[in-house]
Amino acid sequence: MPPAMRRHISHKGQSMVKQNNIGQKSSPRPDAQGPGILYGVGVGPGDPELLTLRAERILKSVPVILAAASPRNEDSLALSIAAPHLPDGVETLRLDFPMTRDAAVLAAAWRENAEKTAAVLRSGRNAAFLTLGDPLIYSTFGYLMRGLQECMPQARVEAVSGITSFQAAAARAKTVLCEGEENLLLISGINGRERLSRAMACSDCAVVLKAYKNMDQIRQALLQSGRTQDIIFASKIGMQGEVLERGFASIPDKPAYLSLLLAPPERGGCASARDPAKGAQSLLNPSKGHDAT
């Protein structure tokens, strides 16, 4: 774990910020006459140093932080990542997003979170909603935006781009994802084998996110599309327990939640010189870990 993260996270992984301190006075916005602005802030894949300068500036200026979390977890991972960039005593409000496919449960949660967010904005305060990676790629921020549009149509919303896990993984592996006229496929691993196979057949480089389950179907799709030699498996990029390995044999049966696969096109040079018979090959420097980034 990067030293910056260790210094700012308590033993439970939460930042030392004040939770739900509604009574605390916040610095007024310059235009406090109207409602506040909601910022969807991408905090990157895991390393606090991978936040953008704009994300850091906004996090240091807003009086309210909205932290998404699963009801099953006590901590918010996005909040822990952002912790080194938050001012002391900032107000935080937890928004629970249940991990379920029950449409009624999801709709109720999205509506409740949107109403909580609207209440903050109506008070004239800006708020930053934290999300892993980028706020507009497989993010709960999309659900919050739609819910907010329904309960507060006049709300002002801005998205602050973040570095994604697959960009960070490619950088750590020093792997070019696409160049020239090549295309890039971004797909969820939750899809079944047929859909995965069809999509991969039309792509030069495939990135499979949400690769934490359905791995047997993902493997079959990779085999069917002939993508085995230069597969890169990445998990918990920029975090403690980071894994980065090359080779089809590197794909575990039951990967961690924050896992992905990169399937770049075969190219010359060092890529073609690798021996697939060697099996999984770690791409991490064992002496430095992810601090080498």
Mean pLDDT of the chain: 84
Last residue of a domain, one of 102, 129, 160: 160
pLDDT at 275: 46
Q: Is residue 109 part of a domain?
A: yes
Lowest mean pLDDT among 1-10, 25-34, 44-53, 242-251: 1-10
Confidence check: pLDDT of 75 > 50: yes
Confidence check: pLDDT of 270 > 90: no
Torsion over CA: 186, 189, 191, 195 (sign)? positive
Same-domain status, 156 and 169 = no
CA geometry: angle 19, 25, 30, nearest 5 deg: 115
Lowest mean pLDDT among 75-89, 180-194, 218-232, 278-292: 278-292
Here the tokens at position 196 are: 């995965």
Give, as one character, the DSSP assignment of residue 45.
Answer: S
pLDDT at 11: 36
Here the tokens at position 179 are: 């160049």
User: What is d(CA 84, CA 256) in angstroms, rounded to the nearest whole number?
Assistant: 25
The structural domain count of the chain equals 2
Which tens digits make up the pLDDT trace of 92-151? Answer: 999 988 888 889 999 999 999 999 999 999 999 999 999 999 999 999 999 999 999 999
Last residue of a domain, one of 160, 194, 212: 160
Beta strand 64-69 with 91-96 is parallel
Q: Which domain holds residue 81?
A: 3-160
Same-domain status, 10 and 106 = yes
